[in-house]
Amino acid sequence: MSTPLLPLRTHHFSHSLHPLSKKHSSVIPLTFRGPKLLLLHRNGVLARAEDKARAGGGIQSSIQQPPKSNLDNQFQDLTSSGACDPLCSVDETSSQEYEANYQPKTDLLKALAIFGAAVTGTVAINHSWVAANQDLAMALLFGIGYAGIIFEESLAFNKSGVGLLMAVSLWVIRSIGASSTDVAVAELTHASAEVSEIVFFLLGAMTIVEIVDAHQGFKLVTDNITTRKPRTLLWVIGFVTFALSSVLDNLTSTIVMVSLLRKLVPPSEYRKLLGAVVVIAANAGGAWTPIGDVTTTMLWIHGQISTLPTMTGLFVPSAVSLAVPLALMSFSREVDGKGQNTDDVLASEQMAPRGQLVFAVGIGALVFVPVFKSLTGLPPYLGMLFGLGVLWILTDAIHYGESDRQRLKVPQALSRIDTQGALFFLGILLSVSSLEAAGLLKELANYLDAHIASSELIASAIGVVSAIIDNVPLVAATMGMYDLSTYPQDSQFWQLIAFCAGTGGSMLIIGSAAGVALMGMEKIDFFWYLKKVSGFAFAGYAAGVAAYLATQNLHFSPTTIANLPFISGS
């Protein structure tokens, strides 16, 4: 479930020096704006390595600028001499090492294995057994594909590629098993229209956040956190993340706050615990607003939940699911220790010119999306694209003629967003829609209804499972299992699904994108999180579910408080 690497891009170079260890002292770096770093070796060979400053997401590191002319001349000498060109990069250190480790027999075997698997799959799909046993064939293929996604690190396959292959293969089987190809095409057209709304929404939101981040706009939030008292900092970090995640997505909120923790707290068990608080708070904060988490966004776009009922119904449970772990962690050994006063190094990252303006417009564009939907009745992704268009024109205008600030504009922001993440959602959602078209999800829903009478228990179980399995396909499958005629819009079931799928992933570090980001940025071990944090997260999850059921049974809402006799004055 970790975020795989993006493909190498060979445009938009920015000449800047990257900090190197002693073992890389013979390397002259040529930084590439994006998730990759191009290293320029003395022998004229370009090699690719990960840019650690970008491994967690959209945080720009503060790096020194070398003399531009020298670096330009070195690169020009290489390209003009024919020894190298911008496309001659390899995966590890140099072409010499690549040639030394190159094993043609092994690569040939891998190629033959992949080719053989493709031929076998093609033959199997065209077999008459598939047409006669469509449901079983689709279930087996989905299971194999999903296993490939779960174990992507072990298999060294990118989950986005696996998801896309699975989606196409499932729809091919569906076209074979359908009464006619025209029926399958009509189902695919309908599914593509729904899925594309989510993908466009995500692309717009990620681009807006990336532009704000490029301008260091989030410093307006992080610069105001000045306390160093362990217990106070624990609560401040928790609720600042909670508030951020209600507007941003939980992944971006985690990246911003973990980067802040690196400035405030030295490496320690306490900082790891604060990182875990960020994960719990980011997932809880994203669960109560339609734009805070991809699963709530999916439910909102497809009409299972609406804006105000969701916010009023899930705010209290989400806050409880954060407050309970914070209260329990406040008495832990790591928090009871003495706080460490550290120098504030955030000042080394200067806000870009007019960063405050970009921050205000960017956050305003995100918040405006629900308003746009309410005013026009049009799909939310149009509101997100409208906000992106406004921010695009604004950044073009304020940075007009500033050739050294191209990275602050939208075109380069588009090259830095997690495009492969959007393609992963595309593959998963199309895969699930094929199962829905074949009727498999409806059969599963009937089975659950027959064996589990309580819809609240079903939603709670889905939340627990989301700690192990990605919540996107879980929610997508649930949407296909139950339609609005079974559970109408804003029913308890859909609101519980939004809450449980959003917060359940906090119970394991691999259960959410926020947890995976923390795992990579702070090198936190799976079992450390399981031992130190999972119990607190489960307590918060259970308390949040109980709080939701209690408030619904008591018909609790903010208007209920206003009507109480001792508040209203009657």
Q: How far apart are CA 42 and CA 83, in angstroms?
A: 11
**pLDDT value at position 556?**
53
CA-closest candidate to residue 274, choices 529, 535, 52: 529
**pLDDT value at position 390?**
93
Q: Are 395 and 358 in contact (CB under 8 A)?
A: yes
Q: Are 386 and 370 in contact (CB under 8 A)?
A: no
**pLDDT value at position 440?**
84
**pLDDT value at position 102?**
57
| DSSP reduced 3-state for 218 | coil
Helix (H) / strand (E) containing 109: helix 104-125
**pLDDT value at position 241?**
92
Weakly modelled stretches of the chain, pLDDT under 50? 1-94, 338-348, 558-562, 564-570
**pLDDT value at position 135?**
85
Tokens encoding 486: 């079974």
For the beta sheet containing 46-50, the strands, ordered from the edge strand earlier in sequence to the opposite edge, are 27-31, 36-41, 46-50
Instruction: Encode pLDDT of 246-288 as tens digits.
Output: 887 777 778 778 877 877 788 888 889 999 999 999 999 989 9
CA-closest candidate to residue 503, choices 458, 550, 471: 471
**pLDDT value at position 555?**
61
CA-closest candidate to residue 206, choices 82, 58, 380, 78: 58
